[in-house]
Amino acid sequence: MDLILSTFGTALTKDNDCFVVVTKEGKRRIAPADVRSIQIHRGTQISSDAALLAIEHEVEVLFVDKGGKPLGRVWSNSYGSISTIRKGQLEFTQSTAAVRWIIGEIAFKIENQQALLSTFASADEELRPTTDRAVLRLEAYHQKVKALTGDLVADVAPQLRGWEGMVSKIYFEQMNAFLPERYRFGERTQHPAMDVVNALLNYGYGMMYGKVEGALIRAGIDPYIGVLHRDEYNRPVLVYDVIERYRVWVDYVVWTLVRQCVIGEEYYSLQPDGSCWLEGLGRRVLIQSLNDYLAEVISIGRLERSRLTHIDLYAQALAQKFKSNS
C-alpha cells in the first residue's frame, strides 16, 4: 500500500518496529511489510525513527507538493548500487540506440492514446465518427514518428517535440468530448490548472512521476540523465521521458471519475487568480482510485502482474538496455 499523509496535523511515528499514524481521531499501527511508499504533504510530520524504519525496510519516503508532484525523497542506500548501469546510461544517450528508444516510446504513447479514444467511443456511438477521425489524424503522426531517423537524439528532437504537441492537442480535443458538458475545458493547463479536470490530471501525473522515479532508482538508473528531455538542474528529466507510456493510465482514471459524476464542488477550490486546486477529499478519491487501478493485474509481454509491478519490470529492462547499450 501507499501510505499518504495529507491531512494537516497528521504525524507518522514508530513503535515496536511498526509505523504509527497519529491523527485527531486516534492512532493506527501499520507493519512495514504492508507499506510500499510513504507520501508526506505539507502540514504533516514524520519522525526520524519512522524515516529510519522506512529506510531499513526499503520503503521510499516522498515529500510532495499540493499538486501531488514529488519535491524530494528518502531511500535506501541499496538502491541503484550498480555503477555500470549509470555509466552505460551516459553512453546510451549519445548513441543511435537512444534515437530508436525515444521514437519507440513516443510511438507507444500515441498507440495508447488511440486505444483509449476507441475504448470510450465504443460506449458512445454518437461520438464514433469524430473519434475515428481523431484516431486517423493521430495515426498520421504515429507513422511520421516511426519513420523518423537520426544518428543522435538532437537530430530528431525538434520534430518529435513539435509532433508531440500536435498529437496532444488532437487527443485532448477529442477526449474533452467524452466529458459531461460542465466539466469540459478549453485547453490543457498546468502550473496551475484552471479547471478541475486539469487539476485531477496534474495531480495524477504528479503521483506517476513519483512512482516512475522510484522504479528507476530501484533499478539503478539515474533519473536526472534524460534522453529527449534536456538535462535541467534538479529535474529528474528521464522520468519525463519514461512517464509518457503511462500517462494514459492517469487519463483513464480521471475520465472515469468525472464521467461517473462523482466529482462535486467539495472536491476542489477555485482561487482568486482563477486557478483550481484539489481539496483533501478530491485528493483522497483520486489517490485511492489511481492506486486501485495500478494494483490491478494485467498482461504485458505475456507476464501477468499489477500495473505498478510492470513499471518496475520496465525500469529493470531499461537498466539492462543501458548496460548493453542496445
Same structural domain, 18 and 139: no
* pLDDT at residue 156 tops 80: yes
Same structural domain, 288 and 164: yes
Band (193; pLDDT cuts 50, 70, 90)? very high
* pLDDT at residue 99 tops 60: yes
Q: Give me the mean pLDDT over the 292-320 stretch.
A: 95
Q: Give me the mean pLDDT over the 141-158 stretch.
A: 96
Same structural domain, 20 and 124: no
* pLDDT at residue 134 tops 90: yes
Structure-block grid coordinates of residue 134: 481523431
Alpha-carbon distance 324 to 182, whole Å?
Answer: 51
Band (36; pLDDT cuts 50, 70, 90)? confident
Report if residue 96 sits inside a domain.
yes
Percent of the chain with pLDDT over 70: 97
CATH number of the domain encompassing residue 45? 3.100.10.20
Lowest mean pLDDT among 165-169, 249-253, 298-302: 298-302
Range of the domain at 7: 2-64
Same structural domain, 7 and 102: no
* pLDDT at residue 83, rounded to an integer: 81
pLDDT tens-digit readout, 245-270: 999 999 999 999 999 988 989 999 99
Same structural domain, 10 and 97: no
Same structural domain, 35 and 154: no
* pLDDT at residue 233 tops 60: no
Report if residue 111 sits inside a domain.
yes
Report if residue 10 sits inside a domain.
yes
Q: Give me the mean pLDDT over the 270-284 stretch.
A: 93
Instruction: Characterize 13-43 residue by residue with b for buried, 16 or more Cβ atoms within 10 angstroms of its Cβ, and e for exposed.
Output: bbeeebbbbbeeeeeeeeebeebbbbbbbee
User: Please, are residues 212 and 246 in contact by the beta-carbon 8 Å criterion?
Assistant: yes
Among the listed residues 313, 312, 315, 310, the one whose alpha carbon sits nearest the alpha carbon of residue 299: 310
Q: What mean pLDDT value characterizes the chain?
A: 92
* pLDDT at residue 79, rounded to an integer: 62
Report if residue 71 sits inside a domain.
no
Band (67; pLDDT cuts 50, 70, 90)? confident
Same structural domain, 39 and 124: no
Q: Give me the mean pLDDT over the 33-53 stretch.
A: 92
Report if residue 241 sits inside a domain.
yes
Higher pLDDT, 60 or 109: 109
* pLDDT at residue 285 tops 90: yes
Q: Give me the mean pLDDT over the 156-178 stretch.
A: 96
The region, left, alpha or beta by phi > 0 then psi within -120 to 50, assigned to residue 233 is beta
When divided into structural domains, the chain yields a total of 2
Report if residue 137 sits inside a domain.
yes
Band (101; pLDDT cuts 50, 70, 90)? very high
* pLDDT at residue 11, rounded to an integer: 95
Alpha-carbon distance 128 to 136, whole Å?
Answer: 12
* pLDDT at residue 326, rounded to an integer: 63
Alpha-carbon distance 100 to 146, whole Å?
Answer: 9
Report if residue 201 sits inside a domain.
yes
* pLDDT at residue 236, rounded to an integer: 85
Same structural domain, 96 and 157: yes
Same structural domain, 160 and 51: no
Percent of the chain with pLDDT over 90: 77
Same structural domain, 273 and 126: yes
* pLDDT at residue 71 tops 90: no
Higher pLDDT, 60 or 128: 128
CATH number of the domain encompassing residue 292? 1.20.120.920
* pLDDT at residue 107, rounded to an integer: 97
Locate cell 489511481: which residue?
A: 290
* pLDDT at residue 81, rounded to an integer: 57
Same structural domain, 10 and 39: yes
* pLDDT at residue 52, rounded to an integer: 93
Report if residue 29 sits inside a domain.
yes
Band (170; pLDDT cuts 50, 70, 90)? very high
Report helix, strand or coil for 114: helix
Report helix, strand or coil for 12: strand
* pLDDT at residue 318, rounded to an integer: 96
Same structural domain, 130 and 277: yes
Structure-block grid coordinates of residue 292: 486501485
